[in-house]
Amino acid sequence: MALDIIYEDEWLIAINKPVSMLVHPGREPEPDDQIAMKALRNHLGQYVYILHRLDRPTSGVLLFAKDQETQSKVSIIFQERKIEKRYYALVRGETPQEFSVDLEINRAHDEVPRPSLTHFTKMKEVVIPSLEQSFTLLNCHPITGRIHQIRRHLEHKGHAIMGDYLYGDIEENNAFAEETQIKRMMLMSYLLEFTHPFTNELIRIELPYEEEFGRIF
């Protein structure tokens, strides 16, 4: 699988991760080109360092460091929430124009829940008559970075992301996929914005709607 590199400098590199790609090796063996970290390593001829993660079915902006010093500096930017992250999500139903979810969630049942916060803004709404259902395109602004945060927050509000078979409704997802021929989870990381730790420049890495989003709207 060819890499779509959308930003690169001496210290950092970002790709547009497709929905099928893992960020790092999982429990089961995978070809190197299906793992972002390994594909980038092979492309650059050097090791790369993970800065954040996207779920396998989530596409979009994924940033890596080229060395450990950069990883350390940018990781602090993430930890101190000095980086802007934005996602597009297509969800079931009609949402308020603006809403937030402030919810304690945990990684596993035996872990202590931790605070999580996401702000949502409605961008567009459409009705698909054959499904007798409305759908909303949301701009998602996660403040914290918990596992499956946006997915869990939207399921909590009754607006599961289309194509999310973990938190959404199986029959509704199947009907949506059959009608639209979109067979993916409709969640996309489209923006990272932060101050570069070495140049002090404002870095804005942004992607347009992916084709599947444009097909709906």
Query: What is the CATH code for 5-81+192-216?
Result: 3.30.2350.10
Q: Which amino acid is at 90?
A: L
Given this model, what pLDDT does residue 84 score? 97
Identify whether the C-beta of residue 187 lies closer than 8 Å to the C-beta of residue 89.
yes
Q: Which two tokens stand for residue 134?
A: 């409305």
The string of pLDDT tens digits covering residues 154-186 is: 999 999 999 999 999 999 999 999 999 999 999
Q: Which two tokens stand for residue 108?
A: 């596993």
Q: What CA dihedral angle connects 195, 196, 201 and 204, to 10 degrees? A: -70
Domain boundaries, the chain: 5-81+192-216, 85-187
> For the stretch 19-29, what's the b/e string if a residue is b when 16 or more beta carbons lie within 10 angstroms of its beta carbon?
bebbbeeeeee
Fold: same for 5-81+192-216 and 85-187: yes
Beta carbons within 10 angstroms of residue 61's beta carbon? 23
Given this model, what pLDDT does residue 29 score? 66
- Per mean pLDDT, which range of 31-35, 84-88, 157-161, 177-181 is the poorest? 31-35
Beta carbons within 10 angstroms of residue 100's beta carbon? 15
Residue 107, classed as helix, strand or coil, is coil
Residues designated as active site: 55
More confident residue, 54 or 26: 54
Given this model, what pLDDT does residue 174 score? 97
- In angstroms, the CA 101 to CA 206 distance is 24
Q: What is the mean pLDDT of residues 14-42?
A: 87
Q: What is the mean pLDDT of residues 125-139?
A: 95
pLDDT band, very low/low/confident/very high, at 112 (cuts 50, 70, 90): confident
pLDDT at 25 over 90: no
Sign of CA dihedral 28, 34, 37, 41: positive
- In angstroms, the CA 170 to CA 153 distance is 18
Given this model, what pLDDT does residue 109 score? 67
- Residues whose CB is less than 8 angstroms from the CB of residue 130 and which lie 6 or more positions away in sequence, other chains included: 179
Residue 142, classed as helix, strand or coil, is strand
Beta carbons within 10 angstroms of residue 168's beta carbon? 21
Residues facing residue 84 across a β-bridge: 193
Given this model, what pLDDT does residue 111 score? 79
- Tell me the CATH number of domain 85-187, given options 3.10.20.30, 1.10.3720.10, 3.40.1160.10, 3.30.2350.10: 3.30.2350.10
Residue 39, classed as helix, strand or coil, is helix
Beta carbons within 10 angstroms of residue 31's beta carbon? 9
